[in-house]
Structure 1
């Protein structure tokens, strides 16, 4: 008969945290949004909306394990709702 193996205490699953009080987009977060076509003003507004939203939220849904991933999803959702204007093709005059 097999004997159970005691590997010692098992690590607790990582729990999420609420948004840090000093959260701001890191240079990598900023670069991600810029790489998706967002300009500086739009990124600044998105960051303000992001922090306002997550600071106002309560309960389990306000806890995240990866705030950088939450930011990337926020940017993708923003772009889905309001795509950046496409460059307009100039028509050649013949």
Structure 2
């Protein structure tokens, strides 16, 4: 269940690279998610870790991945799609707290 909600992507070329979260068609442009502030930030955070690794900052990538994984598995901060009631900001704040 959790992996389904955390699709990440990286497109790497000779001169450029783009890292992004995967999104289901039902979430793209969903004003309700924006209004309720309940979008799941996990995939974006994990694709950021992928970018850090690509930029040759593996220790920063590892720290971010570890913090995200801890928050979704051990803390009580999860967005609705992951079985919780937290807002996007609460999840991000929990990840930032786990980085410290």
TM-score category of the 2 structures, normalised to the smaller one: 0.3 to 0.5
TM-score, normalized by length of structure 2? 0.32
The higher-RCO structure (CA 8 Å, 6+ apart) is: 1
TM-score, normalized by length of structure 1? 0.34
Larger radius of gyration: 1
Greater share of residues in helix:
2
